[in-house]
Chain A
Amino acid sequence: EPEVTQTPSHQVTQMGQEVILRCVPISNHLYFYWYRQILGQKVEFLVSFYNNEISEKSEIFDDQFSVERPDGSNFTLKIRSTKLEDSAMYFCASSVTSPPGTQYFGPGTRLLVL
């Protein structure tokens, strides 16, 4: 069964550094999402992406964040200048065609900002 994949599984970075989190959505999916989960808390929506543009973003997704689909398979989340409070598990998700579509989550990238 196809699955969403994410790399790296863990990332440790210094405050102020840039990080890029990578996702490969399920191949026939058209809608892509990033969520984050701070340890012990609920999953929070960051951004949705469709047809090569952002559909919606949350207030968490400020100017330090950007997303890109650089080719036909990858979907990336960039944090330009990381802060301590960016430490969290970041999940990519994708869904197929017509709404409402079931969202399938990747295994996550655990980001630790020191």
Chain B
Amino acid sequence: GENVEQHPSTLSVQEGDSAVIKCTYSDSASNYFPWYKQELGKRPQLIIDIRSNVGEKKDQRIAVTLNKTAKHFSLHITETQPEDSAVYFCAASTSNFGNEKLTFGTGTRLTIIP
């Protein structure tokens, strides 16, 4: 089955600097890669996703890149703000009709230092 590795496990950056979180996946059939932000005790919230026919996607300060050949994808947050502090999870999915189970990475605790 799919295995998703995520690094680093913790990341501290100064407010205003950029943060990068990296994930690798094992199943070359995976074709959907969402990123979720989870604040303490809250639900995972989708912040951005990318599909395998696209190499990069950007939404304001957040961007995701995908390298299908190397089987890795990354989350980039620019101009970080204190409210970006949370745990971020990457995930991968192989779309079979009626089933798109997400396999999550182990999470990155991002701390923005004011």
Contacts and interface: CB of A to CB of B under 8 A. Distances in A.
Contact of B99 (A42, A56, A104): A56
Interface stretch (A11-19, A43-51, A65-73, A79-87): A43-51
Given A99-B95, A102-B49, A103-B34, A45 B103 contact: yes
A103 B34 CA distance: 9
B102 A103 contact: yes
Band of interface residues on A? 20 to 34
A99 B96 contact: yes
A64 interface: no
Interface of A: 31, 33, 35, 41-45, 48, 50-51, 55-56, 58, 91, 95, 99-108
Interface of B: 31-32, 34, 36, 42-46, 49, 51, 89, 91, 93, 95-107
Given A91-B43, A103-B100, 19 more contacts: A31-B98, A31-B100, A41-B106, A42-B89, A42-B107, A43-B36, A43-B44, A43-B89, A43-B104, A45-B101, A45-B102, A48-B100, A55-B98, A56-B101, A95-B100, A102-B34, A103-B102, A105-B36, A105-B44
